Chains A and B, each alone.
Chain A
Amino acid sequence: MSGLREITDRAGEWLRGRGPHADVVISSRIRYARNLAGYPFVNRANPRQHEDVRDRCREHIVSKRLATDVIWVDLNQSPALDRQLLVERHLISRQHANPKNTIPRAVAIDADETWAVMVNEEDHMRIQVLRSGMQLAEAFDQIERLDNVLEEKIDFAYSRRFGYLTGCPTNVGTGLRVSVMMHLPALVLTGEIEKVKRAARDMHLAIRGLFGEGSENLGDLFQVSNQTTLGRSESEILDDFQRTIVPQIIDYEHKAREALIDQRPNQLDDRVYRAWGTLTHARTINTEEVLQLLSHVRLGVNLGRLDLPQVNTRTLNELFLLTQPAHLQRVVGSEMEPAERRIARANLIRKRLGAH
């Protein structure tokens, strides 16, 4: 089994800046909520049952049938910094990382980091697959393979009427959540993002920020996901995203980008180059500012306004992640106070962007 350290030295699969429509779509994510039949849900189980469920999940997930190399992280034992790293990489939820949570719980991660299973979060298993760019079809094929292999050996809680049974009835049915992370700087700059948000809500979609609730507009990154899990099949839910929702938002963003170039080219370049100037010269900087500046530089690079050999989408995507507090401390190799982190962050950015 590999260790956590090996995967955290690289950027996560979802940030590699590859895949179709990578200029707007950062990542595609799909998750299934599943519970083991014959056990109370996480909310109601006692500590012994939690351990029993955890051990059973481990036995089935770590077996060679899912992947040759699976990393198992016991979250009750792991250091706070490791848990924070996993949150920053979107491999576990904040709730799953919370030190006040004493439920015996874990996460299994494929060494290639294309899938992860949270054990004893709100449900016994939260299986998720992550891909960079717009790759929902590939992500769906993969999660189906994982789910089918697990189902050969495990009875999941299921009823004919309600489908897969989940701790919270808002996930019942398919237990499926599709989540597409999109970079929408032009819609934010033109103010049209509010229209998109309203339209999305009318379509029963949730729009959240980079780190879920409370991180709206950070780095102009938005996660669009379905809220309805019952009454439509997995492929119908997926089709909506592939045929309508995502192409439409990509189209809006492209139109907003064209409008910026046509109508306000000087303001656009000003934003891009000021962001570039600050990132390559700052001596101390916080995460929020970094995300905003990276967003504008990313926009400039994607539109060909800023054309430098040392900067591409991948470098910028990596900086989105590596400048987060836990990753920064891992890269530097020591724990730091916030003030020290701001200095180390500025140094790291200048180095990565080829400035001194």
Chain B
Amino acid sequence: MKKKCDKCNRPATHHAIEIINGKKVETHLCDFHAAEEGMTASGHTPINELLTNFVKINSGVEDAKPPDLACETCGLTFSDFREKSLLGCADCYRSFEKPLSPMIERAQEGATHHVGKVPARAGASPHRQVQLTRMRKRLDDAVMNEDYELAAQLRDEIGQLEGPE
């Protein structure tokens, strides 16, 4: 079931769950009220707006109602991205590759691939990055559901996957 904004009738797009003194406090807000409450980073640069416009133009021309993609790792939908021009995690670049690639190409003077620095650290395989992000999400779900046994297990697994620093 879709939650409504705590402050108006619009659908909530921003959700926060905090544990305060052992009690679960949920906040659900729409884009407008989330911005008002500072739940979202506001004040994009016009470059972001430029990109937003690219997306809007693209989606309007190519397909009137594109199916809303969602990132398998962080759950961000493509329309969330279209609203704010901000991606949710590293894996969004893979999840949204098809619609995103032409937009990046247009915003980056036709460039499609990175040329330049490669991180020295070999440990950061893309697979491991995605796995870690997903496990952290499961860990949060476990804490939220007060399943502390699972949470402890996940913490150990995350620790092992990260390896010694």
Contact = CB atoms under 8 A, between A and B. Distances in A.
A and B together in one complex: yes
Interface of A: 35, 37-44, 46-49, 94-95, 98-103, 121-122, 148, 151-165, 167-170, 172-174, 176, 204, 206, 212-213, 227-234, 236
For the complex, would chain A's binding face be called helix, strand, loop or mixed by DSSP majority? loop
B109 interface: yes
Contacts of B116: 163, 173-174, 176, 232-234, 236
Contacts of B137: 40
A49 B140 contact: yes
A43 B43 CA distance: 13
Contact of B93 (A100, A152, A156, A165): A165
- Chain B interface: which size bin? 35 or more
Nearest to B126: A159
A49 B111 contact: no
Interface in B37-81: 37-48, 50-51, 74-76
Nearest to B46: A213
Contacts of B113: 161-162, 230-231
B74 A95 contact: no
A41 B91 CA distance: 10
Contact of A157 (B86, B123, B129): B129
Given A155-B124, A162-B93, A230-B104, A38 B48 contact: no
A227 B107 CA distance: 9
B18 A47 contact: yes
B84 interface: yes
A215 to B, nearest CB: 13
A151 B118 CA distance: 11
3 nearest A-B pairs in the assembled complex, by CB-CB distance: A231-B111, A163-B114, A38-B132
Q: A48, A204, A213, A234 — which one has the most chain B CB atoms within 10 A of its CB?
A: A48
Contact of B48 (A148, A163, A170, A174): A170
A282 B6 CA distance: 52
Q: A99, A121, A229 — which one has the most chain B CB atoms within 10 A of its CB?
A: A229
A174 B132 CA distance: 23
B87 A152 contact: no
A213 B108 contact: no
20 contacts: A38-B131, A39-B89, A41-B88, A46-B17, A98-B42, A98-B43, A100-B36, A100-B38, A153-B165, A158-B118, A160-B126, A162-B114, A168-B86, A169-B87, A170-B51, A174-B116, A174-B117, A213-B45, A228-B108, A228-B111
Contacts of A99: 38
A41 B131 CA distance: 15
Contact of B129 (A37, A47, A95, A206): A37
A341 B40 CA distance: 33
B145 interface: no
A152 B121 contact: yes
Contacts of B94: 159
B96 to A, nearest CB: 9
B109 A43 contact: no
Interface in B99-138: 100, 103-104, 107-121, 123-124, 126, 128-129, 131-133, 136-137
B139 to A, nearest CB: 9
A98 B116 CA distance: 34
B41 A103 contact: yes
A122 B44 CA distance: 9
A250 B119 CA distance: 35
Given A174-B116, A228-B108, A39 B133 contact: yes
B43 to A, nearest CB: 4
Nearest to B36: A100
Contacts of B85: 168-170
A228 B16 CA distance: 34
Contacts of B112: 161, 230-231
B84 A233 contact: no
A310 to B, nearest CB: 40
A169 B38 contact: no
B157 interface: no
A169 B111 CA distance: 12
B90 interface: yes
A41 B114 contact: no
